[in-house]
Structure formats: structure tokens, C-alpha cells
Amino acid sequence: MKHTTGLVDSNNVAEQGFRFRSSQAVLHQLGQTHFQLHRINQAMCYRKFLLASLVAGAWSVGTSAFGQQAITFSDHDYTSRRTSTEVLSSDPDTGSLHEAAVMINVFDAAEVGDAKDGGKGCDCDSCLSGKGDGKGDCAAVRKAAAASHKGVFYANDFSYLANAGCCPTYLGDRLKRLPVGDCWLVDVGGQYRMRYHHEQNINNTGAVPNFLGLTGDDDDFLLHRTRLYVNAEYGDHIRFYGEMLDALSELGSGPPRVIEENRTDIQNMFVEVKGLDAGPGTIGARVGRQEILLGAQRLVTPFDWANTRKTFDGARAMWKGDSWDIDGIWLRPLHRDAAHVKKLDSPNLDRQLYGVYGTYKDLCRDNLEAYWLALDYEDVGPSGFRYDTLGIRYWGSEGDWLYELETGVQFGTNADNSSHGAGAVTAGLGRKFSGMTYSPTLWAYYDWASGDNTVGNGYHHYEPLAHKYNGFMDIFGRRNLQDANLQLTANVTEKVQFLVWYHYLQLANGNDVPYNVDMTAFNGQTAGTSGSKDLGHEIDFLITQNISPRMSVLYGYSHFFAGRYYSTTAGLPYNGDADFAYVQWQLDF
């Protein structure tokens, strides 16, 4: 440093002191980051740290793109903003380490619930314009946060963040509703899920034709699923949505099922135009790869239980009016088989799903949906099949009584060129016991799906969530099936729910056979071979523990009591009982 006088340059001294203090801060922060990284490797699993790093990386990319705007992830102040010149370090590697350390802190917080405390001296009810519960604990925001992640992530709702004020935020909230420029809002998030399976006598095996059902084979394995998404909205009418999914099965003794493994693939990738005024309503359209969830998911679903989830390439047109919401769809399912596990999935050009689904909104108390859905498969049989389903669903409540009815008729052409005629009915009556301890709810259901004297020509359940309705063990598909079942649910605590579900399962047509969840005949059975219509009984137990609005654990056990069909039908691989136990941990962010 050059001096022109004998006096010390006070500006230079101040500058050097500032640089020294900044260097100390950087070293201190790196030391803290190293300590936290060491702690996480000791106290948390590798996958949690990897997930934190992924989120941190996404955040680092986002903050770079967002220019001067960066949100401070402080242990005590999550609402303040600073410019890029105030960020501790502009080096991307150091910044990523800092964000990773921050995400580890958020993971720690998520395990006990809130990611931060409310601000000092802040009345959360006033922050929420009276939406709190009067006790200052921001119950409305907590409830909205718990319900923010939907059955399809492109429908997630983070609007509560606009009114959160000083209330607790949760894992991933700081990556939502990020402004970019004057018109863009961006959400970055995802999910990690891990599930352990113990399967006794129901594991898929090549020794049984069509692999599925009561096979007599056992296995234990571990499933992992990671989803990462970006939602970018331009104004009120245009948005882009992209989502990646990676599904892995490991530790099993045999090959995974088709629904259990699909390495890094595009799950959703579409452009949407929405909310355009059109007379008495609004219209919109979504084009590209997209998951579809319709009604109660008995016909079309993303099938979240599956490790891979279902998705389609195609288009969806949407009308929202005063009395009706109507969606038109044209879709092609993807090739998802062993040959595509490590390849980007392509649409199956021999298959298509299309139709119209409507929701009527003018009933004063109940709900009504009506639909026409067509399914064309050209790669089944000599000439393929084409089915049309006309259906309605009506459900609602009167006081503590609950009810649901869904029925459909199916017609078209079978794969053997014969005329197709089939149908299905689900009828349920439930009762809430609000005044009792644990607030139990009891449902009684009867589910029927027709069979046929020709194997393969009965009712087709399309792309459904069969797992939810006909037994958690997934032994039967919804074709040629009768299922009389009772379901009891109870709230053990505010965060723990209990479910027990009993099924008595029978064939609908004794000349037909049982079907697997993929609509293939169990064990390759042929018409007239069924020794009895009595398939058996299944009982499912499920405990759901909601650790926080972003984290949950499932504990499940199911037992199948084999019926007379298995002991009286010749050539079956196994005629005894079966068991299924699982534990699932899920984290949304």
C-alpha cells in the first residue's frame, strides 16, 4: 500500500478490516457447514442428505436466474430479503454447500413439525386477517400446508403462502411462488419415498403364467422413488410444467414388477393455456406428457401406490362453467416394461384413451359426475379391441350418513371381433360416529364387475387405482369380480389414523376366471376351469402417521384367506393363504 503522507489512510484501513471480517465470516460459515455435513452423515441417512443437496442445487440455480433477489434462510428470520451483494459468498460451490447445510436444518425441523417459530410480537391471527384459530398458532396455514400436495403435483396449491405472515413455514415452502421478472412465478419441489415390502405367497414369479396373483412365492425388497418438478406460470393464463421420476427396486431375489422400476424418466412435460374467458365460462388446454386423475380413480388414475406412476402423452381440453366443469381427453399410454426400464419411455401408438368427463356443480348438497370414456388397444388379439364406457358417479352426505354410487355400462368390440357388453357397479353406505372417541367412520360397500363366458371379454377396468378398492394385496383386477367389503377408519390422535378393511371376494361368473390387476387371466386359466366362485377373504390394516405437513409414515399389514376356488381348481400354483407387510416413509418438499 503506497502512502503519500505520514498519515494512515483511514479508508484503506477500513477496507482491509472489512475484508478481514468478511474472510472470518466465510471461514466461520464453511466451518459451520463442514460440521453440519459431518453431523448429517452420522445422524441421518445418505438419501436424506442427497435429497437436501438436490433441493439446494435447484435453489442455487433458481437464485442465480432470479438475479438480485435471494431469500434468507435464517434460523430466526425466514421473511427478510437481501441483494446478491449481501450473500456470504458468490462462489457457486460455497453457495451450494451453504444451501445444503440450510436444507439439513430444514430437514431437522421437518421431523418435529414446523420449520420455524413465529416472529416475536406477532399475532398470527392478525397476520392471517382472522384466519387463525384465535390462539395464535396459525391453524389455518398449517391445515392448508398439509393439504397443499395433491394427487397430481401440477395441481399443488401453495396460495396459503401469500397470507402466511409470521406463521410457520414448512419444508420446501421457500422454493414456492418465486417471482422471476415481472410476470413469472416459479415453484420448485418434489418428493422422496421409500417403502419396504415383505410378500409371502404373492410375489411375482416366472413359474406362474402372467406372473401375478396367488403364486406361492416369497420375497423381501426395498423401493425408492424420487420426483422433482418445476412449475412456471406466466401471468394468469400460461404455464409450463415439468416433472422427473426415478423409481428403483433393490434387495429382492427376483426381477421387479413393471410398476416397481423405471430409472430417471420424464413423468410430466406439458404446456398449458388456462382460464380464457369464453362466454359463461372459461376454457383451457394442456398439451404434452401428463398424468390424469378422474373422479374416484376407478377408471383413470396416476396410480400413486405404484413406484413408477402412470402417465400419458396427449391433450386435455378444459371447460369451467357455472353449472358444469367438462374435460375432454385424448391420450396414449407409455411403453413401460422391462425393455424400457433404463430408456426414456415412448408412447404406445397402438393404444389410446379418449373421452369426456363432466362434473355437475348445481346440486345443493350432493355431487354428480358423468362420463364417456373409450379405450382402444390394437395390439391385443388378432385385431385389437375397442371399448366405450358410459358412467355416472353420485355421492354425498346427510348429517352423519354418507353414500356413494358409481355405475357404468361398457360396449364395443372384443379382441376376437365379438360384440362387447359388460358393466360395473359400486354402491356404498357409510356412517360417521362423530360423538364417539376417535371419531370412527364405518362404510359398507358392494363392488361388482361383470365376467363373460369367453375369457378376456368381461368388464375392463381401464387404467384404475384397483389397489385402493379391491384389496391392498392387489391379488385381483376388477373384472369378473364381486367384492363385499367393510371399512372402518378412526383418528387415534391428531396425527395418527387407523384403517381396517375387510373384503369377501367371489367370481361374478363361474364359467370365467379370476383376473390379475393387468387384466390378464390368473395363471393363464381357461373358461370352465373354475372349481368354485369363492375366491377368499382379505383383511387390511393400515396406520398412517403424519409427522408433519410434509412427512408421513405408513405401517401396513394384510392377510388373504384362500377360498374354495384355490382348493377345487386344478393346476393352480398354490392354494394356501398369503401375507403382505410394508412400511413406507414419504417426504414432500
Q: pLDDT means per 10 residues in the chain (589 residues)?
A: 39 43 44 43 41 42 36 33 35 42 45 40 45 57 91 95 83 94 95 98 82 91 98 96 97 90 96 94 98 97 96 98 97 82 88 98 95 96 94 97 98 96 98 95 98 97 92 97 98 97 98 96 95 98 96 98 97 95 98
The answer to whether 548 and 112 are in contact (CB under 8 A) is yes
CA angle 394, 395, 396 (to 5 degrees): 140
Instruction: State the Cα–Cα distance between residues 418 and 510, nearest whole angstrom.
Output: 20
The answer to whether 569 and 531 are in contact (CB under 8 A) is yes
The answer to whether 432 and 490 are in contact (CB under 8 A) is no
DSSP state letters, 208-226: STTS-SS-S--EEEEEEEE
pLDDT attached to residue 137: 56
Instruction: State the Cα–Cα distance between residues 247 and 341, nearest whole angstrom.
Output: 9
Residue 88 — φ and ψ, nearest 5°?
Answer: -55, -45
Cell triple for residue 501? 378393511
The answer to whether 268 and 242 are in contact (CB under 8 A) is yes
* 422 beta partners: 410
225 CB-contact burial (10 Å; exposed 0-12 / middle 13-18 / buried 19+): buried
The answer to whether 541 and 499 are in contact (CB under 8 A) is yes
Type of residue numbered 588: D
Q: What is the pTM of this model?
A: 0.78
Type of residue numbered 72: T
Every domain range in the chain assigned CATH 2.40.160.100: 178-588
The answer to whether 418 and 403 are in contact (CB under 8 A) is no
pLDDT attached to residue 565: 98
Provide CATH code, domain 178-588.
Answer: 2.40.160.100
| DSSP H or E segment with residue 319 | strand 312-320
Three-state DSSP state, 331? strand
- Beta strand extents in 162-311 (DSSP E only): 178-180, 184-200, 219-234, 238-250, 262-278, 281-290
